[in-house]
Structure 1
Amino acid sequence: MNSSVGRNIVNFFFELGMLKKTPRSGFQFLGSGRESVADHSFRVALIGYTLARMSENVDPFKIVSLCLFHDVPEARTGDMNYVNKRYVDVDEKKAIHHLAETLPFGDDFKALMEEYRENETQEAKLVHDADQLDLILELKEQSDLGNAYAPKWIHFALKRLRTNIAKELADQILQTDSTSWWFEGHDHWWHPHQEG
């Protein structure tokens, strides 16, 4: 590898670090909760993988790749929530193009981003649903903690789901207390063992 390619790759790695520092801006309007774009992308990738394994005739590797890359341009553009997008024009295509020019896999990156934006393949639909399921999970947690506005947001997120499997999982999310994974059925975690 020549030094120019290596430097571009390392710069890309540093740029990815910006996603850990870039807040998801919608929480400002919700009034509670917070996460970075990197936090969000991590769970979206695992949700996407899960959706892929629960579906037929889809490529799990492509879905995870789409999930991991879907918000990478936000390292350059920031995260624009639904209110921001009504007033701010973000040239995401330019951000994608400029980043792709520096990467040896730039064509792959551009193709993934185009597939995600067009949202026509089954993989892209599942990734968009994984994105919304992550939001629904966050909103359910905020609702369980007492945020009265979170259910209103959930209502709109549910309308954006496209696949039956995501709709079924969303129904289950709404029926599940966000603490049940660590609280229910784990009494032994909360009571120290008596040693004789």
Structure 2
Amino acid sequence: MEFPIKVALAQAVPTIPEGPGWWYETKLDGHRTVLRRTDETVVLYARSGRVVTQHWMDLAVAGMELRPGTVLDGEAVIRREGRLDFAAAQSRAASSVTRARALAARYPASYICWDVLQHPDPAIGDCRSRPYTERRALLLDLLADVGPPIQAVPATDDRDVAVFWYDALREQGIEGGLSASGAGLVIRRGGGG
């Protein structure tokens, strides 16, 4: 796997799809981040491929709990006053390293993962071509013994639950839109990417 990794971007859809095989995830409003656990350290990349480890050092330290060889795709988020604060996450990402550390002390970040790109088991390795349901199971297994601030995004294959999330959770900072892989609800096919 070559770094930095080009990540998939969201595409808008007009309605929440129905039928078998659909999975839905909440989309959290933060800073898109790829987390790479090497043998020695953790490296965090922005969506652009820029290394942002120093801006999210609290997440890098937490990422040391992951097995070496793990690469995750997710969102660095910050909660303030019970809500996700997009401006706070973007402010931290755009600040100087010194200011980022001061902001982290006041408002620690969480890393919400929605995908495993590389599994640390060499027999599994690069997961990007595997079906969503298989990658989801691998992600949950990898995070089973890792606690907050690193956690898996909530996901369901129940459309009624997804509609509830879409309608009720926006006031907590969930983006309000529909996408096949990005805003408001993330909508995926169980057998595909």
TM exceeding 0.5: no
Normalised by the size of structure 1, how large is the TM-score? 0.27
Normalised by the size of structure 2, how large is the TM-score? 0.28
Structure with the larger helix share: 1
Structure with the larger strand share: 2
Query: Which structure has more RCO (C-alpha within 8 Å, separation ≥ 6)?
Result: 2
Which of these two proteins has the greater Rg computed from alpha carbons? 1
